[in-house]
Structure 1
Amino acid sequence: MARVRSLIRTQARHAFATLTIVFLLLAGLPMLFACAPCLSHVRLLGVRLPWLILCGGVQPVWVVAAHRHVRLAERAERAFTEPARPE
């Protein structure tokens, strides 16, 4: 039972770390544009920078964060089941 609690705590820690990273990156965007309003007027390919980041930059963050989280969760599960495997 203690090992199961340890696994749950480990996965919860990984989930919280992933949530924190995604939140800081995505919540940081409005703060960045509020602190540096000159960036809001920059145009790339005819599109203003905030819209370009929102349309093309947010999805890769989700994908990378999800991939990282799944990789860490699977690693924790492997470490949990490793000692239980018969030899």
Structure 2
Amino acid sequence: MASEWNWESDEGLLRIDDPADWGAAYERGESRLGTAAIGLAFNCTLAEASPRIVRAMPLADRHQRGFAFTAAGVAARLNGALTP
């Protein structure tokens, strides 16, 4: 549910479960996309999460970029692969 996502403080973003919410935030230029990518890795299918994780990897903020790589590790651990 999008109302749970606080893009300013990143509260709730580890529970994000809707790739469309992540995509809309990406289009708006939100700052916590790497954190949210970890949430997608935990809560979505690999097919849904992978493209968004890849989109988060070149983020300008180095911390959020690092979280995108953490998301890739989570996806690999949970699914045994990085892509479907």
Shorter-chain TM range is under 0.3
Question: Higher helix proportion, which one?
Answer: 1
Question: Higher strand proportion, which one?
Answer: 1
Higher RCO, 1 vs 2 (CA within 8 Å, ≥6 residues apart): 1
So what's the TM-score if we normalise by structure 2? 0.27
Q: State the structure with more CA Rg.
A: 1
So what's the TM-score if we normalise by structure 1? 0.26
